[in-house]
Structure 1
Amino acid sequence: MNSNLELVKNVLKYTFGLVPIVAGLDKFTNLLTDWSQYVSDGFAGMLPLEAGTFMMIVGIIEIVAGILVLTKTRIGAYVVAGWLVAIALTLILSWSYVDVAVRDIVMAIAAFSLAKLSEMTPIKARN
């Protein structure tokens, strides 16, 4: 693969591998933010558990998704893209944190781009 394409692929791979792992781990500590604030009141009312506990489950999913990106990049990137779209749709439907929803859609497009880059077969360098 062309060195610039390989660089972009690696930057995206480590971004979408490490950031979900860090965010997932933070669901247990809330050092970066109180993650339960992103669960709308309507959705929280439908949950059979507390919003904080729900976010810990979300954290586990994010950690697994990040590991998947690092180990099976193409599949993991599609998982992360789908996950980000699901988060964005939840935020849009509750009309809360719409700015975060827009950011997540942009990140989903980047994760999708990583998946497509990962499908490319390496091209031998030409002299």
Structure 2
Amino acid sequence: MNTTIKQLQTLLKFTYGLVPIVAGADKFTNILTNWGQYLAPWMKGMMPFGEHTFMMIVGVIEIIAGILVLAKPQIGAWIVSAWLLLIALTLISGGSYLDVAVRDIVMAIGAYVLARLSVAEARIA
């Protein structure tokens, strides 16, 4: 059973480590999508700079969070979980892309599970 749990934890670690790195890097290129479209309209009016600049800042944060998950999942997974919830709340507040918001909530739950598993493993070790 412990081997299975460790394998699942490793799968989650690579998922929640690599996906934010890829998504963060794509904030600079918009190859996967035009990330600015996901900004709530109220956010666009509050920013002191353009949406692409904002998305590049977001990209750097996501890359750092992904690296942190890979290096220290007992810390990084909490950050990614909270980050995904904030993204979902932003989408909900904008009233669009609600399907993506639901997906991000589900992903946040997965990151939460990784965080809990990693904290438990660190206590045992």
Tell me if both proteins adopt one fold, taking TM over 0.5 as the criterion.
yes
Cα distance per residue 1:85-112 (max 9 Å; x no partner):
0000011111111100000000000000
Deviation at 1:41, TM superposition (A): 2.1
Deviation at 1:42, TM superposition (A): 1.9
TM-score by length of 1: 0.93
3-state SS of 2:32 partner: coil
Give the letter for the 1:33 counterpart: T
Pair 1:34-2:27 in alignment: no
Work out the number of aligned pairs and report it: 123
Map of 2:53 onto structure 1? 53
CA distance in 2, matches of 1:105, 1:66: 17
Map of 2:119 onto structure 1? 119
Q: Compare the two structures and name the one with the higher helix fraction.
A: 2
Gaps of 5+ in 2: none
TM-score by length of 2: 0.94
Give the letter for the 1:79 counterpart: I
RMSD of equivalent CA atoms: 1.3
Q: What percentage of aligned pairs have identical amino acids?
A: 60
CA distance in 2, matches of 1:42, 1:78: 27
Deviation at 1:121, TM superposition (A): 3.4
Alignment of 1:62-73 (within 5 A): 62-73=62-73
**Higher RCO by CA contacts (8 Å cutoff, separation 6 or greater):** 1
Gaps of 5+ in 1: none
CA distance in 1, matches of 2:84, 2:34: 19
